[in-house]
């Protein structure tokens, strides 16, 4: 009888483990690439059917020349963003989600646009000739979004959120956006 119970337990354990397919996903944020000219790639690891953790790396592709263009830009030159997502969909790891994230960013601030009081009617006496300053910041924040998954495990995500700077050096911005329209593939 004990051997039969042990065999039953092993079979049930094996089938329940075999049914839990913990997968991962790699994606590219097409929104940031097209609008802000930044490369934003994400690796997401599924913990279970309702949650995941991951890391995102963002890099500005235009360097300091982005400040001279009329197009929108991020202040971040480089950002590393670990995150945790909680899903509320009917299918595994899809549907609406809430995301908590941390962010370590290194960037440059164009003081002409960032601090209006500082440079309104400013002169060279009050303002340096190079208004671009480097900064480092650590941020935490929340995002909301939705993820759709095709039968071939192609993913499409839309999300938006904001982070608050906990520490900032050299007068960097106090708030940081986290936005995207991402396309990815599950494995």
Domain ranges of the chain: 23-186
Kindly indicate whether the domain formed by 23-186 is annotated with CATH number 1.10.10.60: no
**pLDDT given at position 18:** 42
Q: In Å, what is the CA distance from 102 to each residue of 1, 132, 182?
A: 53, 25, 19
The answer to whether the beta carbons of residues 26 and 183 sit under 8 Å apart is no
DSSP line for the chain: -HHHHHHHHHHHHHHHHHH----EEEEEEHHIIIII-EEEEEEEEESSSSEEEEEEEEEESSGGGGGGSSS---SEEEEEEEEEEEE--SSTT-EEEEEEEEEEEEEEEEHHHH-HHHHTT--TTTS-S--EEEEEEEEEEEEEEEEEE-TT-EEEEEEEEEEEEEEESTT--SEEEEEEEEEEEE-
**pLDDT given at position 78:** 93
**pLDDT given at position 6:** 46
Low-confidence ranges of the chain (pLDDT < 70): 1-22, 67-70, 110-131, 170
State pTM to two decimals: 0.77
**pLDDT given at position 132:** 75
């Amino acid at each position: 009888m004990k051997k039969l119970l042990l065999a039953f337990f092993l079979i049930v354990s094996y089938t329940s483990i075999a049914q839990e397919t913990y997968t991962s996903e790699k994606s590219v944020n097409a929104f940031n690439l097209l609008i802000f000219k930044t490369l934003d790639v994400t690796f997401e690891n599924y913990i279970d059917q309702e949650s995941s953790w991951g890391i995102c790396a963002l890099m500005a592709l235009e360097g300091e020349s982005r400040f001279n263009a009329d197009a929108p830009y991020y202040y971040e030159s480089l950002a590393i963003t670990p995150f945790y997502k909680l899903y509320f969909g009917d299918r595994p790891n899809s549907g609406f989600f809430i995301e908590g994230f941390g962010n370590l960013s290194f960037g440059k601030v164009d003081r002409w646009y960032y601090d209006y009081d500082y440079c309104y009617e400013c002169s060279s006496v009050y303002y340096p000739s190079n208004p671009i300053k480097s900064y480092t910041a650590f941020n935490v924040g929340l995002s909301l979004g939705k993820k759709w998954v095709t039968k071939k495990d192609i993913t499409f995500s839309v999300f938006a959120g904001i982070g608050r700077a906990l520490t900032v050096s050299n007068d960097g911005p106090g708030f940081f956006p986290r936005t995207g329209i991402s396309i990815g593939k599950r494995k």
